[in-house]
Amino acid sequence: MDDLVYTRYLGHLKSYVHQRPEKKAIILLGYIQRDFLRYYRRGDLIDGFKFIKENFERNTDLMKYLTITQITAQMHSFVDDLAHEGIQNHVEIYPFLELQQKYHSLLQNKPVKDYLEWVQRIIYDFSLLMRVDNLSFSSRLEPTLDIIYYINTNIYHKVTVKDVLIHANQYCNPARAQRDFKAEMNMSISEFISTKKISVAQKLLRDTDDSIQTIAEKLKFYDLNDFSKQFKKKVGISPLMYRKNNYQKESR
């Protein structure tokens, strides 16, 4: 493992050595976190955290140049890396997306003061999800998961099949990605976008006091009528009736 890590070679690279201390610290921290992913993929979480801790403490004089804001930004990136690993290798991706959003919210409200404490906590929480429903790699699985990830992370934007295929074109043949998606998911990309938006709408109707108009606007439906028609087609009842029924169930 040691001969594979990025951080082992940084000290030999001119473009790193001649940087200002603050910039060197940011680069080093980023590569420490990238090296950890090698441990994470193997399930060596104890050794992985030990690797982070040893490298962080060995470079304390350098790390002191980082502001809390800079460390917090690196932590946001770390959360994204772990979430992405989980999404790429699991059937059920929603827990990873939820945990990702949870930590982004926590980090916005409570900036990182103790780097190692936060890292340990994040590793532990993501490791619990990594043990469930793990997948082996298949040639069409990765582009399908990448499309799902893209749609989920852009669910509050106006997402079209064209947008998705432009994104997919960065990594693979978009026509093949579209075929593979349908084979894996038993639905088209367009159907998945619609299903996902309605699923999020159901959650908002249950868990928030947002008006139906507001929910339609948040999820970028054409208008309230379009939202109501699509919702009823998928769920079988109107958004208003769905909210009323679920409110009654929770009140019992």
Q: What domains does the chain contain, in order, with CATH numbers?
A: 2-130 (no CATH), 141-251 (1.10.10.60)
Instruction: Measure CA of the first residue to CA of the last residue in the chain; give whole Å.
Output: 57
Least confident of 35-49, 121-135, 198-212: 121-135
Q: Per-residue pLDDT tens for 153-179?
A: 899 999 999 999 998 887 678 888 898
Residue type for position 71? I
H-type helices in 64-188, by residue range? 68-88, 94-109, 115-130, 141-153, 161-168, 174-185
Q: Per-residue pLDDT tens for 222-236?
A: 899 999 999 999 889
pTM (whole model) above 0.95: no
